[in-house]
């Protein structure tokens, strides 16, 4: 096969990039290891920055988002019984949109189907070749056939466990990582949300988050130990623990019910540099991971896709490689700020096994400063709604 851009990975990064390139008349092929149903079966976060919403609108995929997405002008942080509202609208003039990542991915696939853009699913043995030449290619097997795609560029949108990042020589790649000593136990329940905005709770028993998908679908998380197993947690145990971690005024509003999804996710901060090697460009989870406390995973992937789209448009439409040559530096500059915010929110709102009294006092002082300082709340709001591209 032959294409201009071979995109490895049919998650939100790869799909959004393919649609933005298609809009500029740039051809691409998307290779996905799993089936479409498997990709759409993943339960992930659901808070969208205006930057991502704007990109969805650019590729004509915002109709359902506009109808079903919930605008949030703020969020609540709690510490024990104390509640502090962060007003995004007051500090930034910008809301966020609550709309599940699964729905974003579904909308992107539907748009590709409408445009007759084929995705090659269930590919195996994906291998990247000659990335440091001007004639790279990608090979894969499917149904026993071996296929080679000749291309100009490869976009590695294959997530943390993908093949793309591993194609960058170890002598070139630098990795930065912080693994947190706890996980998030999350459930999805067909119950009305506890509050009209998200509640991020720090409590003596650990972190909790009250989120939502729609007026009859709620998403809740509690910090748990990494040795915990999902089967250790009955629904009842989950609801009891959640009630103990949020202000009693909110616990009184909690509507419980059977969980329709329950899973434990580890927390990690990870960045690799560079995000470009030869003709290979990494986007999203292939290059960086954030703990979910800042709701930045999908949004920072979208920023990468924005920069790469601009760079490739510049190459194909203007004959300039300025964008290509600055892609890695430009993307990483924003990624590190997003990593800092996500690490800061995680450090502020969780209880660490080795935390001592001084550490706790630091959390309390940080929260007191947030309560007293307009500038501190504004800084949080600015990062939460999304830094400019």
Binding residues (CB under 6 A) for ligand APR: these are 8-14, 31-34, 39, 44, 101, 123, 126, 157-159, 161-163, 284-285, 297-298, 301
CB of 113 to ligand APR, least distance (A): 17
270 belongs to the catalytic site? no
Contact partner, 102, from ligand PHB, ligand APR, none, Cβ < 5-8 Å per class: none
Give me the catalytic one of 109, 220, 327, 384: 384
Name beta bridge partners: 341: none
- Cα separation, 145 vs 127, whole angstroms: 14
Q: Which of 47, 108, 275, 290 binds ligand PHB (CB under 6 A)?
A: 47
- Residue 111 backbone dihedrals phi, psi, to 5 degrees: -65, -40
72 belongs to the catalytic site? yes
Give the pair of three-digit tokens for residue 204: 């003596």
CB of 99 to ligand APR, least distance (A): 13
Restricting to residues 280-299, name those near ligand PHB by CB under 6 A.
292-293, 295
For ligand APR, the closer of residues 168 and 254 by Cβ is 168
79 belongs to the catalytic site? no
Contact partner, 193, from ligand APR, ligand PHB, none, Cβ < 5-8 Å per class: none
Contact partner, 123, from ligand APR, ligand PHB, none, Cβ < 5-8 Å per class: ligand APR
For ligand PHB, the closer of residues 45 and 287 by Cβ is 45
296 belongs to the catalytic site? yes
- Cα separation, 18 vs 112, whole angstroms: 9
229 belongs to the catalytic site? no
- Cα separation, 342 vs 383, whole angstroms: 9
Count residues contacting ligand PHB (CB under 6 A)?
Answer: 9
Q: Which of 21, 29, 39, 45 binds ligand PHB (CB under 6 A)?
A: 45
The residues assigned a catalytic role are: 72, 200, 292, 296, 384
Task: Give me the residues that bind ligand PHB (CB under 6 A), please.
Answer: 45-47, 198, 211, 219, 292-293, 295
């Amino acid at each position: 096969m032959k294409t201009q851009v071979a995109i490895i990975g049919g998650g939100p990064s790869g799909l959004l990039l393919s649609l933005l390139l298609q809009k500029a008349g740039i051809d691409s092929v998307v290779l996905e290891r799993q089936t479409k149903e498997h990709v759409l079966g993943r339960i992930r976060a659901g808070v969208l920055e205006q930057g991502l919403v704007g990109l969805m609108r650019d590729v004509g995929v915002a109709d359902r988002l506009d109808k079903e997405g919930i605008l949030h002008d703020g969020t609540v942080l709690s510490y024990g019984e104390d509640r502090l509202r962060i007003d995004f609208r007051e500090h930034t003039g910008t809301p966020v949109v609550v709309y599940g990542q699964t729905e974003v991915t579904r909308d992107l696939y539907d748009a590709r189907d409408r445009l007759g853009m084929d995705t090659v699913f269930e590919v195996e043995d994906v291998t990247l070749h000659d990335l440091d030449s001007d004639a790279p290619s990608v090979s894969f097997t499917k149904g026993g056939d071996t296929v080679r795609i000749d291309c100009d560029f490869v976009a590695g949108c294959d997530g943390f466990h993908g093949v793309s990042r591993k194609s960058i020589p170890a002598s070139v790649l630098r990795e930065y990582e912080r693994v947190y000593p706890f996980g998030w136990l999350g459930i999805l329940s067909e119950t009305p949300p506890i509050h009209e905005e998200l509640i991020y709770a720090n409590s003596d028993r650990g972190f909790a988050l009250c989120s939502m998908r729609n007026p009859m679908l709620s998403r809740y998380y509690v910090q748990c130990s990494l040795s915990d197993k999902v089967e250790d947690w009955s629904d009842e145990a989950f609801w009891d623990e959640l009630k103990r971690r949020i202000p009693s005024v909110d616990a009184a509003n909690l509507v419980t019910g059977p969980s329709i999804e329950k899973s434990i996710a580890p927390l990690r901060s990870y960045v690799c540099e560079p995000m470009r090697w030869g003709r290979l460009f990494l986007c999203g989870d292939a290059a960086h991971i954030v703990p979910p406390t800042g709701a930045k995973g999908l949004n920072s992937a979208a920023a990468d896709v924005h920069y790469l789209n601009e760079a490739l448009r510049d190459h194909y439409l203007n004959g300039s490689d300025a964008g290509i040559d600055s892609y890695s530096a430009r993307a990483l500059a924003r990624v590190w700020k997003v990593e800092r915010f996500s690490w800061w929110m995680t450090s502020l709102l969780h209880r660490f096994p080795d935390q001592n009294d001084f550490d706790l006092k630091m959390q309390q002082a940080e929260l007191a400063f947030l309560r007293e300082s307009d500038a501190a709340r504004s800084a949080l709001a600015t990062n939460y709604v999304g830094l400019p591209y």
